[in-house]
Amino acid sequence: MTRRLKYSKAAEELGIEESWLRRHIKQLPHSKVGRVVYFTDADLERIDQLHHHEPSTGPLAATSKPSTSATSHPLANLRPLPRRGTAHANVS
C-alpha cells in the first residue's frame, strides 16, 4: 500500500519546514481528498528532483565547462538595442 503523508511528515522526510510546503503547494505534486493534502513517496521523489541542483563548475561538477561558441545558444546572436535618443538622431 502507498504511504500517504500529511504536511508535517512530508516536510520531515524532505528535511524542510512545513511552512515551505504550505507556501509552495500549488507548484508541488500532491494528492488532495476534500481539503486534506497528502504526499506519496512518488510525490516526495519528484519534489526532491525538482529542487535538486548539480554544480556546473568546481571539483564536484559532473561535466566539463559548457562551450561558449556563438552557435551553441539560440539567442547568442542577439545584440542590445541602441541607447534611447541615438536611434532616431541619425534618421533624416
Residue spans per domain, the chain = 7-50
Is 18 a residue whose pLDDT tops 60? yes
Confidence tier at 88 by pLDDT (50, 70, 90): low
Whether the pTM exceeds 0.85: the reply is: no
Query: Please, what's the b/e burial string for 60-87 (b: 16 or more CB within 10 A of its CB; e: otherwise)?
Result: eeeeeeeeeeeeeeeeeeeeeeeeeeee
Q: What pLDDT score was predicted for residue 75? A: 75
Angle, helices 7-14/41-50, rounded to nearest 10 degrees:
50
Report pLDDT digits (tens) over 19-72.
Answer: 999 999 999 999 999 999 999 999 999 999 998 888 877 777 765 555 555 456
- The runs of H, that is alpha helices, within the chain are 7-14, 18-23, 41-50, 86-89
Q: What pLDDT score was predicted for residue 66? A: 53
Q: What pLDDT score was predicted for residue 35? A: 92
